[in-house]
Amino acid sequence: MRLSYSALDSFQNCSLKYKFQNIDKLKEPKSKEAVFGTLVHGTLKFIHTPSLLQPKLEDALDYFSKNWNSDVFEDELEERSAFSMGVSMIQEYYKKNVIADYNIVDLESRFAVEIKNPKDGTSHVISGIIDRIDKTEDGYEIIDYKTTKKMPSQDKVDNDLQLSVYLNAFLARYPKEAERLDKVTVSLYYLKHGVKLSSTRTLQQLNDAKQLFLDVITEIEKGVFVPNVTPLCDWCGFQKICPMWKHKFKEERRIDSEEINAAIGDYINLKSAIASTKVQFAQLQEKINTYMEQEGVERVFSEEGIIAQTLRKTYKYDEKILREILEPLDKWESVLKVDGIALKNIMSVLSPGIRQDVERSRILDKESKSLTIKKK
Ligand code: SF4
């Protein structure tokens, strides 16, 4: 299988989106964020492309505004704010960088690296584009530009899969550099903040990244693609056909809109009524229990009927005694249950490798559907 890093990323975020893009080969309308990101990347390529006269800030801003695409924005306000964000990113970039100082090896460097699955001997290809590769004083630096608003923690950068994949691709081109990995820096450059977060990788991390790639391929080959609603849906061009979103688009409705509006309204009202009934019920229960205690009775009578008090006891087993009984019979292990909450609590203290192993051990147990309400 041939898989690009962005396809892998897409599968991990939402496997249904991966299917739309890579199996059904549906064309995704470009979001304004994607159009904006592509232009900023193009401007940085323009800035660093070797030429006799290094582009100055004005040249870069000129390139940016000449290639600006107004069509993707919903209104003028939105467009103006995006345009000024792009301008300030480029200004900040010139403030923090002396363009002529960099010794650039490659820009928007395409790669396609083969990896073999040792388990079944199949070979696969990882492909992608590295934004920039620099020769540094004593090694190399691999840089990926980001136009997102959110900046990750250093810990996330140290474990970022994209950077590990890029470094693997770099080593396929410069294999000798594997002997001095500490001299090859991998960086994410957050243009909005003007901050570059850098890291290095060990051979073990690079091998883990290859293994993760193979694991994702195994998952894809299972052919199960399910939607995963996350904040990333806001940037997904498939909302109109996605079962989690298509209802939002009127023309996609199959049930009469009047009918569904009434049903939604009734559902929300009923849910609130149930909640307030529960509170009322608990208050009445409390009043009746207090009365029974006060009168020293266990049953009370009215014209509507009789209410009797029953004592419900729940028991738990003494773990030590139970273990002493079951262990000699070889039955102890079979009554132990994995405690999901306790596992979640210890996840943060485990190493990233162990965390990945634990995640890989997850299997689907039960599936049920429920409705949640978000009130306007
Ligand atoms: S809208 Fe969200 S859930 Fe639906 S395909 Fe896109 S990313 Fe997946």
Atom 5, ligand 1: residue with shortest CA distance? 17
CA of 270 to the centre of ligand 1 (A): 29
The DSSP secondary structure of 285-308, one letter per residue, reads HHHHHHHHHHHT-SEEE-SS-EEE
pLDDT > 60? residue 233: yes
33 against 39, higher pLDDT = 39
Place of tokens 């919903």: 74
Could you tell me the sign of the dihedral formed by the alpha carbons of 120, 121, 122, 127, in that order? positive
Q: Which two tokens stand for residue 95?
A: 């403030």
Shortest-distance atom of ligand 1 to CA 230: 2
Query: What pLDDT, in 10s, does the model give residues 136-178?
Result: 999 999 999 999 988 999 999 999 999 999 999 999 999 999 9
In 72-136, where does DSSP find H-type helix? 76-96
pLDDT bracket for residue 340 (50, 70, 90): confident
Single out the residue of 1, 97, 87 nearest to residue 40, CA to CA: 87
AA identity, residue 313: K
Single out the residue of 149, 155, 142 nearest to residue 188, CA to CA: 142
Main-chain dihedrals φ then ψ at residue 294, nearest 5 degrees: -60, -40
What share of the chain has pLDDT > 90, as a percent?
57
Please provide the average confidence, as pLDDT, over all residues in the chain: 89
CA of 11 to the centre of ligand 1 (A): 11
Single out the residue of 284, 254, 247 nearest to residue 371, CA to CA: 247
Please state, as a whole number, how many other Cβ atoms lie within 10 Å of the Cβ of residue 184.
20
Shortest-distance atom of ligand 1 to CA 228: 3
Question: What is the C-alpha to C-alpha distance for residues 359 and 373, in angstroms, rounded to an integer?
Answer: 29
Atom 7, ligand 1: residue with shortest CA distance? 233
pLDDT bracket for residue 83 (50, 70, 90): very high
Place of tokens 């820009």: 107
Strands 184-190 and 140-146: parallel
Domains of the chain: 2-235 (3.90.320), 257-346 (no CATH)
Within 6 A (CB) of ligand 1 lie 14, 16-17, 227-229, 232-233, 236, 238-239, 242, 244-245
Q: How many CA atoms lie within 13 A of 272 on its CB side?
A: 8
| Size of the chain, expressed as the number of residues it contains | 376
254 against 233, higher pLDDT = 233
Cα distance from N-terminal residue to C-terminal residue, the chain: 46
What share of the chain has pLDDT > 70, as a percent?
96
pLDDT > 60? residue 29: yes
Query: What pLDDT, in 10s, does the model give residues 171-230?
Result: 999 999 999 999 999 999 999 999 999 999 999 999 999 999 999 999 999 999 999 999
Shortest-distance atom of ligand 1 to CA 239: 1
CA of 23 to the centre of ligand 1 (A): 15
Question: What is the C-alpha to C-alpha distance for residues 23 and 352, in angstroms, rounded to an integer?
Answer: 31
Of 153-167, 250-264, 283-297, 305-319, the one with minimum mean pLDDT is 250-264
Question: What is the C-alpha to C-alpha distance for residues 99 and 240, in angstroms, rounded to an integer?
Answer: 43
132 against 315, higher pLDDT = 132
Mean pLDDT, residues 65-89 taken together = 92
Amino acid 371: pLDDT: 63
pLDDT > 90? residue 124: yes
Q: Which residues of 328-358 are buried (b: 16+ CB within 10 A; e: fewer)?
A: eeeeeeeeeeeeeeeeeeeeeeeeeeeebee
pTM of the model: 0.67
Question: What is the C-alpha to C-alpha distance for residues 107 and 115, in angstroms, rounded to an integer?
Answer: 24
AA identity, residue 213: F
Extract long-range pairs of 234-239: CB within 8 Å, 24+ residues apart: 235/31, 235/33, 235/34, 236/14, 236/17, 236/28, 236/31, 237/28, 237/29, 237/30, 237/31, 238/16, 238/17, 238/20, 238/26, 238/28
